[in-house]
Structure 1
Amino acid sequence: MLVTMTELLSVAYENKFAVGAFNIGNSEFLRAILETAEEHKSPVILAIHPSELEFLTDNFVAYCREAANKTKVPVVIHLDHGGSSADIIRAIRCGFTSVMIDASKYNFEENVRITREATELAHKAGVSVEAELGNVGQAEGSMEEGADECLYTDPAEAKKFVELTGIDTLAVAIGTAHGIYPKDRKPKLQIDRLKQIQSVVSIPLVLHGGSDNTDEEVAESIQYGISKVNISSEMKRVFFNQLRENLEQSPNGFEPTQLFPSAIDATKQLILKKMQLFGSIGKSDLYK
């Protein structure tokens, strides 16, 4: 069941659970995500970054739409970190039901201008819009841009930003980073800052860089407006570590039917763990 992000997250926000946005880099991830979501009756978000879309091509989105429409759970196809109007237009034409315009690297005024233009464009096509204020940090192994250190979202600016742009969801910087954290660096969420943002912003909030944060912190953040949590690096690490192990055990193996199943299963276990943490298991019934 294909829906917009606004439809999906309005229910999550009201009922204090979050929906996982899992980045798709190939059809194996798509299968793992949708099979897990349907088996456990969880709404889900299929996230595709512009660099992933460039690799997968536009035809892959049609494949995602067909697969999503065949499921019995709510599914959003979301453009992750679109950086320009061209990215937004391409996503709309491909059939995404949600887009992110990320102008967070610019100053506040320019971020507002770019975001407002993208929002007006997407809303005319019935597509939901996410934007980012502040700048999520950058760790290892991520294709997404980020600052060397997290530039935290200011609550007062967040209120003004939402009012000026008309966005549907806001990604906040409260202490996460894209990618995998090095062993000597421990993530820490600023829950007090999140509480302040939620007190002045009435739309669902998004946690980027959700890989490697503690379960306790993520669960607590969901109680204060986080309705969407992005997972990419952690899921890909599980898949490819299992695939490497398979290749080491069968160095002459070359059949996808032999190499991929256990990697898909390992990925599904991680996805299920995240859905349980986010509280989305069984919540598809709320959308009937």
Structure 2
Amino acid sequence: MLISGKDLLAVAAANDFAVPAFNVSDYSMLRAIVEIAEEKQAPLIIAIHPNEIANLGWDVMPSVIQIARKASVPVAIHWDHGADYEQILQAIQGGFTSVMIDGSLLPFEENVAITKKVVDAAHAVGVSVEGELGTIGKTDTYAESGADSIVYTVPADAVSFVERTGVDSLAIAIGTRHGIYPSDLQPELKLDLLEEINRVVEVPLVLHGGSNNPDAEIGQAAHSGVNKINISSDIKIAYYDREREILQDAQLREPDAIQPPCRAALKEVAAQKIDLFGAAGKAALY
């Protein structure tokens, strides 16, 4: 069942859980996350980053839309970290039901302006919008973009941002980073800051950089106002680590022998995230 991000997250907010937003970069991964969402009867966000659509190609979108429509659970298709207005329009035209405009590295007033412009266009055609305030950190140059130093979201600024832009959800910075943490960098979420933001901001909150963080902290965040958690690196590592193992057999060459075990490995990690976020069985609420 294909629905908007706003409708998907409204139920999560009302019932105190987080919807997983799994990034996919090929059709095999797409199949795996939809399969596990159906098995766990969990709502799902299919997240696709501009780099990922560049790899997939725009011609894949009719298939993504079809698989979402046919799914036995509610699904939103989300444009992740949109860079500019023109890119957002292309995503809307391509069939995304939710878009993110990432103006987090801009000065506050510029972030407000571009986000409001996107909201006006997207809401006119029933597409929901996620904005971002504060900066997610980065772990290396390979992961999605982020700041060298995290700029934590200021609660009063978050209130103003939501009121002035009309966003449907807000990605906040409370200590996460994109990618996988090196051994000399330990993740630590400011859960007290999350609680403070949640008290004053009425829209669902979003946590980017959900991979490679302690389960206890992520699980608490999912019950403290965060209703969407982005997972990319964790599922991709599971998928490709399994593929590397399989390809030790030099005789293997057919995708139907190589990809199913990779999907199984991805699904095992995704299932654990679904349970951690409290999303298992919640499809019945829609």
TM-score (norm 2): 0.98
Matched, 1:217 2:240: no
TM-superposed deviation, 1:62: 1.0
TM-superposed deviation, 1:140: 3.2
The count of residues paired between Structure 1 and Structure 2 equals: 286
- What residue in structure 2 maps to residue 53 of structure 1? 53
**Which secondary structure state, in structure 2, belongs to the residue aligned with residue 45 of structure 1?**
strand
**Which secondary structure state, in structure 2, belongs to the residue aligned with residue 90 of structure 1?**
helix
- What residue in structure 2 maps to residue 276 of structure 1? 275
- What residue in structure 2 maps to residue 251 of structure 1? 250
- Is the Cα contact below 8 Å between 2:100 and 2:130 reproduced in 1? yes
TM-superposed deviation, 1:42: 0.4
TM-superposed deviation, 1:112: 0.4
Equivalent residues in 2 for 1:21-170, closer than 5 Å: 21-140=21-140, 142-170=142-170
Ranges of 4+ aligned residues in structure 1 off by more than 2 Å: 140-143
The alpha-carbon distance between structure 1 residues 12 and 165, as it changes in their structure 2 partners (threshold 3 A), is same
Equivalent residues in 2 for 1:170-209, closer than 5 Å: 170-209=170-209
- Between the aligned residues of both structures, percent identity stands at 48
Distance 2:55 2:30 in 1: 15
- Is the Cα contact below 8 Å between 1:58 and 1:94 reproduced in 2? yes
**Which secondary structure state, in structure 2, belongs to the residue aligned with residue 175 of structure 1?**
coil
TM-score (norm 1): 0.98
Distance 1:193 1:84 in 2: 29
**Which secondary structure state, in structure 1, belongs to the residue aligned with residue 186 of structure 2?**
coil
- What residue in structure 2 maps to residue 238 of structure 1? 238
- What are the ranges of 5 or more consecutive residues in structure 2 without an aligned counterpart? none
- Deviation digits for residues 158-208 of structure 1, max 9, x if unmatched? 000000100000000000000010012110000111111111100000000
- Deviation digits for residues 224-249 of structure 1, max 9, x if unmatched? 2100000001110110011011111x
TM-superposed deviation, 1:258: 1.0
- What are the ranges of 5 or more consecutive residues in structure 1 without an aligned counterpart? none
**Which secondary structure state, in structure 2, belongs to the residue aligned with residue 230 of structure 1?**
strand
**Which secondary structure state, in structure 1, belongs to the residue aligned with residue 247 of structure 2?**
helix
- Is the Cα contact below 8 Å between 1:142 and 1:180 reproduced in 2? no
AA partner of residue 202 (structure 1): E
Distance 1:36 1:132 in 2: 28
Distance 1:224 1:159 in 2: 17
AA partner of residue 271 (structure 1): A
Distance 2:82 2:270 in 1: 24
- Is the Cα contact below 8 Å between 2:18 and 2:223 reproduced in 1? no
Distance 1:232 1:11 in 2: 23
AA partner of residue 78 (structure 1): H
Distance 1:46 1:132 in 2: 19
TM-superposed deviation, 1:269: 0.3
Distance 2:132 2:19 in 1: 18
Distance 1:285 1:223 in 2: 19
AA partner of residue 281 (structure 1): A
Distance 2:123 2:57 in 1: 24
- Is the Cα contact below 8 Å between 1:142 and 1:178 reproduced in 2? no
